[in-house]
Amino acid sequence: MQINTFLSDSNQLSSGATERVNTANTERLFASFNSDFKAEITDAMRRGAGNDFVLKLSENRQRFVELAMMAQQQEPVDSKKFIKSLSFEDRQVLQKVHSLGTSITDSTVNKMSAEGVDNLLLVPGKGLDANNDAITEIGTAKSFKFPNSNTPADVAAAWNKSLQNSSPEDRLMAAASMMTMMFSVNVQTDANGNFLGVNEPGSAAYVNPMADPNFSYKAWANNQLEYNETFKQEIPANVYERDVKFLSSFLLNLNSANA
């Protein structure tokens, strides 16, 4: 009898401890999602986002965080199944938060990749490039962003530091220089150098040079600087000055961090 009572008390204590751990984990998860979302709103304002965009994020923050938490607490996590279980109103929350032009229907969910559907349930700006092709999929939308989830932390820090006081337009143009590099390595030409097409993400011939462990961001920055010097007379003076200033700063920050 005493043994049974002891075992019963032990099970109750164990159950109570587990419940406290689960509650603590839930609170940490909520705090993390909430903090990330607020940081994204702040960053959107810094980037010069319009009031309507910022208001849309703010109005949908609480419900989005609740949905993201619910999705993470599934066992096992199944993003497609979870989103299909949502009401029209909750699907609209996801659509608004991620600024998607297409409604989230069962049909569109079926067309989404695992990466695309998982990223719908992550805070904007925190989407993962799961297949490391340099393209981040959110729903059915695909976009190039740099730095992304696979960019080494020291490289991302050097990049962001170099753009610390830059305008939204200059930030966009800096990222575009990386996208141009991605485009150029995937251009198809014939033996005479004639343009044939571009390898698209997902095709067998598509290449993400940044996925190569030997890829050097320092070499890329140096090559860009050399390009600017070579074609200096053909580049508008303000563009030349902007690009050289950024690239020189990026290279300096990379060297300082030994990236």
Q: Are 128 and 216 members of one domain?
A: no
Same domain, 16 and 140: yes
Q: Cα 46 from chain centroid?
A: 17
Of 92, 119, 144, the last residue of a domain is 144
- Residue 81: phi and psi, rounded to 5, are -60, -40
pLDDT for position 7:
43
Whether residue 60 has pLDDT greater than 80:
yes
Handedness of CA 217, 128, 135, 37 (dihedral sign): negative
State the total domains in the chain. Answer: 2
* Host domain of residue 13: 2-144
Question: CA-to-CA distance for 182 and 20, rounded, in angstroms?
Answer: 48
> Is residue 218 within 8 Å of residue 251, measured between CB atoms?
yes
> Which two three-digit tokens encode residue 120?
């719908």
Asked if residue 109 and residue 218 are part of one domain, the reply reads no
**Which pLDDT tens digit goes with each residue over 32-57?**
877 888 888 887 787 777 888 888 88
Contact 81, 71 (CB under 8 A): no
pTM of the complete model? 0.80
The residue out of 144, 178, 194 marking a domain boundary is 144
33 with 126, same domain: the answer is: yes
Specify the DSSP element, H or E, that contains 205: none
Query: In terms of domains, do 14 and 52 share one?
Result: yes
Q: Dump pLDDT digits (tens) for 177-235.
A: 999 999 999 999 999 999 999 999 989 999 999 999 999 999 999 999 999 999 999 99
Same domain, 139 and 221: no
Residue 6 scores a pLDDT above 90: no
Q: With contact defined as beta carbons under 8 Å apart, do 253 and 246 qualify?
A: no
168 Cβ partners below 8 Å, 6+ apart?
A: 47, 48
> Is 69 in the same domain as 194?
no
Residue 246 and residue 176 share a domain: yes
The tens digit of pLDDT for each residue in 70-112 reads 998 888 889 999 999 999 999 999 999 999 999 999 999 999 9
Stretch among 7-16, 69-78, 141-150, 163-172 having the lowest mean pLDDT: 7-16
Do residue 7 and residue 116 come from a single domain?
Answer: yes
